Amino acid sequence: MKKIFVLDAHPRADSLVAALARAYRDGAEEAGAQVHLRALRDLRFDPLKDPMSKDPLEQDLISVQNAISEASHFVFLFPTWWTSVPALAKGFLDRTFKSEWAFRYHKGFPKGLLTGRSARIIHTCGAPSWANKWVYGQPEVRMMRDGILKFCGFAPVRVSKFGGIMGDTTSQGAQALEDCRNLGRSDSQ
């Protein structure tokens, strides 16, 4: 049985991203996967704390690290705001994907420590997909896929974007929900 950890990184519980996370979970569970879904907004941690601090991590961040370590597949869902992740998500990433847990340097070269896991990025974007890709160059995808997940050893890392959606729960939103349910099913194979 595949173990999947899904992290909803939207600050609001009533968001389309939260609904997409639940749809993904439902599809994965229908396909027989064991799924653990958490919402970043529910975690208790200080997103502004210096990520280089030697102080121990908060218990919620430790529990997320444990969930990622135990999973064979990690799914990170977020809205694209100003061509990046929301501030809470950035603080989470800085604090959680720490040196000696997610990666280390050996003789000046980085080595990812989270190998043996795949990942999927699912994000929404108010701008049309073509504009985000060709005008802005998808900086949020490059940061998450290359700068964090691949850097830390995840492979493969797949990306699913729902562009031109601004919290839409009508026709486009309904199609996105069904697409996420199908992604959950296919990722569980």
d(CA 150, CA 158): 10
At 26-74, the pLDDT tens digits run 999 999 999 999 999 999 999 999 999 989 999 999 999 999 999 999 9
CB-neighbour burial class of residue 65 (10 A; exposed 0-12, middle 13-18, buried 19+): middle
Q: What size, in residues, is the chain?
A: 189
Q: Exposed (0-12), middle (13-18) or buried (19+): which is 68, by Cβ within 10 Å? A: buried
The total domain count for the chain is 1
Closest CA to 91 of 45, 149, 151, 123: 45
**What does pTM read for this prediction?**
0.93
Query: In sequence order, which residues have a C-beta less than 8 Å from that of residue 172 and are 6 or more positions away?
Result: 162, 164, 165
Domain coverage including residue 58: 3-187
List pLDDT tens digits, range 140-175.
999 999 999 999 999 999 999 988 766 555 667 888
Q: Are 77 and 21 in contact (CB under 8 A)?
A: yes
CATH code: domain of residue 138: 3.40.50.360
Rg for the chain, CA atoms, rounded: 16
Q: What is the pLDDT of residues 88-134, one digit of tens each?
A: 999 999 999 999 999 999 999 999 999 999 999 999 987 766 766 77
In the block, tokens 């994000």 appear at 123
